[in-house]
Amino acid sequence: MADIPWLALGSFGAGVGSLYVLAQLRAHWDKPGARWFVATIATITVWSVVYGVALLVSRPSVRLALEATTWVCLLWLGYFFLAFALGYTGRRAILESPLFRGLAVVPGAVSVLALTNGAHGLLWTGARVTASGTASVVETAIQPLGYLSIFGTMLFVVFGTMLVFDTVLSYGPLYRREAIAVGLSPVPPGLAVLAWALGIGPAVNLTTLAFLPHLALDGYAFVRSDMFEFHPATRRAGERAAIDDIATPVAIVDVAGRVVNLNPAAEAMLGVPKRDALTEPLDGHVDGGRFRPGEDDDRFGVENSGRRRQYKLQQTELTDGAGTRLGYTVVFQDITDEIRRERRLEVLNRFLRHNVRNESVVIQARAELLADTLDGESADHAATIERAVDRLVASGDKARTLSEAGSDEAALEPVDLRGLVEETVAPLSAEYGGTVTVDVPADCTVESQPVLLGVVVENLVENALQHVPDAAVTVRATVEDDAVSLSVADDGPGIPEHELAVLQRGQETALEHGSGMGLWLVRWATTSLGGELSFDRSGGTTVTVRLPVAAEATVREKH
């Protein structure tokens, strides 16, 4: 066997190659699983160098000691690789579990047996050192415990390879070639170990030579690419946190509605431990509620410990790679407080619309009567009361409009923009005085909500006429490619800075607030229409509402 020395050279080459891979991995030692991968490559380094030396040693005692050392490397290789696979794929809980740590006793105990095999022969017997050319070969008869140890190590490697291969392949095309390399890398040394253990081919162990393609494939997968930078542990932790760590109840059910998984928030919501709910129908754990797999529900009631809360269900279909429906992810959005707020607002709205308005009408009528019958200062007081009540009624009307703004989800409809503006501003000009000039293209039609668009025009023009004596107001519309800009300009002193600050913050405070609801209505109506609101205070005030063409507003100019 004149090629035996080449096996020694190949073993030393594998040792050098593994050292190169170790050097390239220095920047990744802090990544999940990287230290175990280093332990795996280091074991390959020791095995390759020791076996290369052993092939050149003829002294039986030394040769057998070196052979036993290669057995120790074989026994630990599988454990290290499986530990790497668990850490790299984000299964740290298993990696750090007492069971897996206790599993290290197996390769440790068998390593002791390998180093002391000459005294008991439990792993192999009949060891004989023979010379083949310039190399020395050990011929043995492997015992059942030895075969069990070898195949156990290979089982570890196979299982670890499956974890890495499946997880990395789930990245899709991003690391598909690298995943194939990871899946193929254990094949050459695995076949070499099998051939040696089963006595197939030459008596020498070709595993170290097979490490060369193994290292090349691992180097391609982990060194050449960024697989240690974008490792699966991040995504696995994220997927776990996305369900377990959020406060929103989430359940995973199969197509029949049976519970597959519950996050802690769902356990608390249902009042049942996950272990008791698994494989049970979700509907069976909901008192007074209903659950239909695959169907969303806007009002889903759950009663727990005598308290009933309302949820909105959103279900997302779970499928495999072939598109087969496997089940559903069920998200429970607690809307109990939202429903309570809606009910309180309904009560408040009814109060404003009926009680306050009716009483205001009474006060208004009596104040008007007093203003007509009294003279002098008393008549002025009555007129002041009448104007104040007028403003109060107007504020109530605007509050009612605000509560209804944007609540109607009916389809958009064509709106003649010039006609809407002229119809809206005509009574305002007559009521407040001043002049309003309409500069809107005659045949400009937008797809919008006429009520909300009217709210915008009315309140902007009214605001200018109210606060600027003998105001000259111009309402102008310009059509662009993707939007229509509707502006209202006046020649007054401009909107006070504190008014604009309140609008820009989107909220009022106790010490700084707007003087009325007109601009608030404009802001909210514009937002409901999907538009943008801007102010220009140079030379009066110009308020521009920019409405999009796509989705909420479509402009059609007829020429």
Say if residues 420 and 451 touch (Cβ distance below 8 Å). Answer: no
Is 180 inside a domain boundary? Answer: yes
Pair (490, 540) in one structural domain: yes
Is 145 inside a domain boundary? Answer: yes
Distance CA 221, CA 62 (A): 37
pTM: 0.52
Who's near 451: CB < 8 A, 6+ residues apart?
A: 405, 408
Say if residues 529 and 521 touch (Cβ distance below 8 Å). Answer: no
Say if residues 521 and 507 touch (Cβ distance below 8 Å). Answer: no
Question: Is the Cα dihedral 414, 417, 419, 423 positive or negative?
Answer: positive
**CATH number of the domain within which 541 lies:** 3.30.565.10
Question: 381 to each of 213, 358, 386, 393, 466, how far by Cα in Å?
Answer: 101, 22, 9, 18, 21
Is 344 inside a domain boundary? Answer: no
Which of 235, 267, 288 is a domain's end point?
235
**Could you tell me the mean pLDDT of each successive run of 10 residues in the chain, 559 residues long?**
69 91 78 84 93 89 92 94 84 86 93 93 89 76 93 91 72 63 84 89 84 86 63 55 74 84 85 83 70 78 73 81 78 82 72 71 81 82 80 68 54 82 84 85 82 85 81 87 84 71 53 55 79 82 77 41
Question: 360 to each of 204, 287, 431, how far by Cα in Å?
Answer: 106, 48, 20
Which of 361, 379, 404 is a domain's end point?
404
Which one-letter amino acid corresponds to residue 357? Answer: R
Pair (329, 418) in one structural domain: no
pLDDT for 508 = 45
Distance CA 245, CA 263 (A): 8
Is 381 inside a domain boundary? Answer: yes
DSSP at 167: H
Is 241 inside a domain boundary? Answer: no
Pair (80, 198) in one structural domain: yes
Beta bridge partners of 302: 309
Pair (529, 459) in one structural domain: yes
Residue 353 neighbours by CB distance under 10 Å: 15
Pair (426, 519) in one structural domain: yes
Say if residues 33 and 230 touch (Cβ distance below 8 Å). Answer: no
**CATH number of the domain within which 121 lies:** 1.20.1070.10
Is 303 inside a domain boundary? Answer: yes
Is 339 inside a domain boundary? Answer: no
Say if residues 403 and 519 touch (Cβ distance below 8 Å). Answer: no
Question: 313 to each of 112, 224, 494, how far by Cα in Å?
Answer: 59, 46, 49
Pair (29, 130) in one structural domain: yes
Start-to-end C-alpha separation, the chain: 96
Distance CA 283, CA 171 (A): 35
Pair (46, 149) in one structural domain: yes
Contacts 24+ apart (CB under 8 A), 352-355: 352/396, 352/399, 352/400, 353/396, 353/400
Pairing label, strands 435-439, 472-479:
parallel
Burial class (CB in 10 A: 0-12, 13-18, 19+), 30: exposed
Closest to 91 measured CA to CA, from 194, 222, 240, 250:
240
Q: Which tokens hold the place of 474?
A: 């111009």
Pair (77, 173) in one structural domain: yes
> In 3-state terms, what secondary structure has residue 488?
strand
Question: 61 to each of 44, 234, 264, 409, how far by Cα in Å?
Answer: 23, 50, 61, 90
Pair (504, 537) in one structural domain: yes
Pair (73, 197) in one structural domain: yes
Number of domains the chain is built from: 4
CA atoms within 13 A on the CB side of 355: 6
Which of 209, 235, 261 is a domain's end point?
235
**CATH number of the domain within which 284 lies:** 3.30.450.20
pLDDT for 441 = 87
Residue 470 neighbours by CB distance under 10 Å: 11
Is 300 inside a domain boundary? Answer: yes
CA 317 to the chain's CA centroid: 16
pLDDT for 513 = 40
Ramachandran category for residue 306: left, alpha or beta (phi over 0 → left; psi -120 to 50 → alpha): left
Query: Which residue, chain included where needed, has tokens 């662009």?
Result: 480
Say if residues 166 and 85 touch (Cβ distance below 8 Å). Answer: no
Query: What number of H helices and E strands is found in the chain?
Result: 21, 15
Residue 550 neighbours by CB distance under 10 Å: 9
Query: Which residue, chain included where needed, has tokens 């066997």?
Result: 1
Distance CA 258, CA 293 (A): 9
Distance CA 71, CA 151 (A): 13
Pair (286, 424) in one structural domain: no
Which range marks the domain in which residue 546 is found? 413-557
Pair (265, 192) in one structural domain: no
